[in-house]
Amino acid sequence: MKKKLTALTLVSIFIIQTISLLVDFPWKGIIIWGISVFLLGLAAYFTKFLEEKNKGNE
């Protein structure tokens, strides 16, 4: 599950960055990069801290 969540957030970042090239409004850069950094943080959280369900009791 965490691989899917990580992939989903990374794809979301790609889509947001691509759409931002087409949009023109004030403070576009700081808003888009802020959202991207937040989503990148979520991807790191999903990768590092979520447990895999199929791991045995170790």
**Statement: residue 56 has pLDDT above 70:** no
58 pLDDT band, cuts 50/70/90, is very low
Sign of CA dihedral 10, 35, 2, 5: negative
Of residues 58 and 19, the one with the higher pLDDT is 19
pLDDT digits (tens, 9 = 90+) for 5-55: 888 888 998 998 898 888 888 888 898 889 999 989 988 888 887 666 655
> Residue 55: its pLDDT value, please?
59
The ranges assigned to domains in the chain are 2-49
> Residue 11: its pLDDT value, please?
92
Return d(Cα 24, Cα 30) in angstroms, integer.
13
